A and B are shown apart, each in its own frame.
Chain A
Amino acid sequence: MTATLAGIDLTFGYGGRDVLRGATAAARAGRVTAVVGPSGSGKTTLLWLMAGLLVPKSGRVVLAESPDAAQASGKPVDFGRLRLGMVFQSSALWEHLTAEEHLRLVLAGKGLGRGERRRRTEEALARLNLAALRRRRPGELSGGERRRLAVARAVAADPEWLLLDEPLVHLDGPAREELFALLRGLLADTRAAQPAGRQAGVLLATHDAAEAMRLADEIVVLLDGAVAQAGPPEEVYRRPASLVVARMLGPAGELAGEAAAGVLSCGGRPALEGLPPEDAGPRRIILRPEDVRFQADGAGPASVRRCEFQGDTYLLMVECCGSDVLVRHPHAVAPGATGRLALRPASEPRP
């Protein structure tokens, strides 16, 4: 059984510049893995390498029972036999074919009978709400409909591995919400067993961390061509490996100082309270806005520089010990107010 499609230590470059430097990522059957990174971090290149569309400078793409086994004894992929579905960032639709013809073409040559091909075409069209648009060419479809067609083409042949490259990019408003809901349903289906008793593995590349955290079981943060951190979304979000990783997934700040007796001090003044009592010595603490509380006392080392209304809460930018810390606060605070920062206890509800 091959439950993992893994790219091991992949390196690839364009014009002498490496865009991917020893990156390792894996798609696992029945799970959704999201590759998150800013533009130019190598997400698309990683997906293209995993799809066999590019040959890596070094590293290999293998099939194995598990990610650990892939490192040690993975079998090189025969891309000609791999049952793959892919949504390209540009959609890569065939402009001269209708929506229905797109699906029929990808089902051709798969050894399916005419009736089965028709059934799967109908099923994919219905699943992506494209049944009424079956006779339309891509040029006659809206942006959201084009993306839905690209997804329908990718899933029509019940692929074992589904690669989604920024499926929601360039979409906004209702079109984005509609496709997001469809994708969430689709990915839930892929986690369930396929007719052949096999779960599909999904690799999703996106620059949108919120989208990744909502859809994925596992996140791989790709920064400057290398994997900065990988793990379940909550773990990566709560315990980021660096401030850059933390900021990739959401707003964050960092505070450095000396920890002792549950307090982080800088310059001899207490700056952050509520640390675990066992913490001692020099510390750099990455702080999420919702994990920090600002207590105005007119004397503390923290000074509010800006206060932004966010709808349900206020976001304070607080300068403390030379660092900027973001704090989610229930009410407005005037810039210039001073006070102390404290970590919210895990039991305390977040604003």
Chain B
Amino acid sequence: MTACRSRPQPALGAAGLLTRCAGGLFGAGAEVLALAALAPLAAAVVGSFDSSASGSGYAYWWASPRGWESLGRTLAVAAAAGTIALALAWLLAASAAGLTPRWAAPAALAACLPMLVPSSLLAAAWIAALGREGTVAAFLRDSLGLRLNLYGIAGAAWVTALRYFGLAALLLCWSRLRREGGWPAARAARLPRWAAALHLGLRADARPALAAWLLVVLFSMNDHIIPGMLLVSTCGTQVLIQYSALLDPGGAAALAAPMAALGAGLAALAVGAGRTAWTDAPQAAAAGPPPRSLPARAACAACAAAVLALALAVPAAVLAARTESPAAVLAALADAREQAWRTVGVAAAAAALAAAGGAALAHRWAAGRRAGALTAAPAAILLLAAPPSLPGIGMITLFQHGPLAAARDTSWPLVLGLALRLLPVAMLLLYALWRREPAEGVLAARVHGVPAHLAAWRVVWPPRRAAVAAAALLAAILAATDLETAILLAPPGGSTLGVRLYTLIHTAPEAMTSALALGILLFTAPAVTALAALAALSRGRKAGRP
């Protein structure tokens, strides 16, 4: 699967034959994994042409206005969410950079926290805040006479934006951090403030901002939970896919396949738009951040705090206000003990698989990039760009017949489904960390005759283990808070915490739902803290180097 370009592979002698064989087997295994990971997507797409329940799925959805109207609503929500998210992210990035660059990364990472909780939790929290009987909505109505309606495209876009704006904040903060060393030249050139802001600020932000907008649109488009909970009578495409997936998998796949193609296109555009933002050499910040006055820094701090409070504190505070007592949280968790343990087990297994597979693919991708060789590893990104229900439908198809059918009613389909969905997340995280890793360290081991197994264990693995642990932890958090895959693939009687919350939202009193939602937040908190500690540890080690 690899095709060498002009830069040849390193040479090996006869004594390195074993190393070459092991390397070759590993490379071939990674290529097979990249292609095998796409099997559920392929199965779902093949199944979309065989829709027995509703005749031709493509004709049903796309030869009539229903599919196009649904797509229009989906895109409207996604585009609006992308725009709101971009505005919030830009505000946060500009404020954090105005404080000191040290705060930019933590602020952007904090903005990503809503992505680490179930989307149903976020929707429930915002319904509790701004729904018909919401705490904030009631206050605004009673004190200001202001009536808000969260149920509609605008409301869905708002909540979706608050879930995914961290992604945009991360990109914009990263882009700003990489060019923070450019300000002394602008000052020395006596550029007017407006010219510096326009040419060095806004214009430099344009491409990463476009990439961020496209990514948020992609993720919003593929989210069916929030629109499903807020659009009520005007369901979007993802909602329809999810609702019809179990009854008519072929028909649902016929609706989802074009969305997957659209998602892949958006992902490709995002990568193209943001390429310079993450491949350009960073400008050294020898002079440190630009000096700012105390009032300016205070204003920036207030602005950043306000954005983060809006995204994080409001939902948490409303859930806390709606919960009867701390004991209710513990009781809700105790009631969900069975689901909690199952969630932990499923998430741990899926995260281990995703991290191992992601590490193999990232290593293959990074090595291929250095050697100028093509690899199938990046194709795994399709699993992230496609609607999450599409690989889920594929897994149902694969476990329906053949040798896998015996495992159909076990947790394996769910574990594998989650692992596949999180495989590109782990791969992208690890690739981002490893792609600029110099090859000379490994080559030095080879030149000096260090045995291959020792080189792998003592030279390659130690600097990478923290990254793999972080990828596994991130995958575990995302797997534990997943809903889209679990709804489709959880075995009978084997629901997870996310599914239980989603069920309770529709059936139980709000106090009970809020208590469980808070419980899930507490459940996620230690893992997020560990992830932050791991990132800080890794950063601290790097900072110690010259």
Contact = CB atoms under 8 A, between A and B. Distances in A.
Contacts of A14: 6-7
A94 interface: yes
13 contacts: A15-B372, A78-B13, A80-B15, A81-B14, A84-B448, A94-B444, A97-B462, A109-B449, A138-B545, A143-B546, A153-B444, A154-B448, A157-B448
B447 A90 contact: no
A94 B441 contact: yes
B458 interface: yes
A82 B13 contact: yes
Interface in B529-546: 544-546
Contacts of B438: 90, 92
A82 to B, nearest CB: 7
Given A54-B8, A88-B444, A97 B458 contact: yes
What DSSP secondary structure best describes chain A's contact surface? loop
Interface string A1-45: 000000000001111100000000000000000000000000000
Contacts of A80: 12-17
Residue of B5, B14, B440, B544 ringed by the most chain A CB atoms within 10 A = B440
A109 B450 contact: yes
Interface of B: 5-17, 372, 438, 440-441, 443-451, 454, 458-459, 462-463, 544-546
A140 B448 contact: no
A84 B11 CA distance: 14
Given A79-B11, A79-B16, A86 B448 contact: yes
Given A78-B13, A80-B15, A85 B458 contact: no
A140 B544 contact: yes
A53 B16 contact: no
Given A52-B13, A55-B9, A97-B458, A153 B448 contact: yes
Contacts of B372: 15
Given A13-B6, A80-B13, A81-B14, A51 B546 contact: no
Nearest to B446: A53
Contacts of A13: 6
Interface string A82-115: 1111101010111111000000011011100000
A79 to B, nearest CB: 3
Interface in A29-80: 51-55, 57, 77-80
Given A52-B12, A80-B13, A90-B440, 13 more contacts: A12-B8, A15-B6, A52-B11, A54-B10, A54-B11, A55-B10, A79-B12, A79-B15, A81-B14, A95-B463, A146-B546, A153-B444, A157-B448
A139 interface: yes
Residue of A15, A55, A79 ringed by the most chain B CB atoms within 10 A = A79
Given A53-B447, A79-B13, A154-B448, A92 B440 contact: yes
B521 to A, nearest CB: 36
A81 B10 contact: no
Contacts of A108: 450-451, 454
Contacts of B17: 80
Given A83-B449, A106-B448, A96 B463 contact: yes
Contacts of A16: 6
Contact of A84 (B6, B447, B546): B447
A55 to B, nearest CB: 4
B341 to A, nearest CB: 37
Nearest to B543: A139
B445 A105 contact: yes
Contacts of B16: 79-80
A57 B462 CA distance: 35
Contacts of A53: 10-11, 443, 446-447
B463 A84 contact: no
Contact of A86 (B441, B447, B458): B447
A153 B444 CA distance: 10
A12 B11 CA distance: 13
Contacts of A96: 462-463
Contacts of B447: 51-53, 84-86
Contacts of B11: 52-55, 79
Nearest to B17: A80
A54 B6 CA distance: 12
Contacts of A94: 441, 444-445, 458-459
Given A78-B13, A105-B450, A140-B544, A88 B459 contact: no
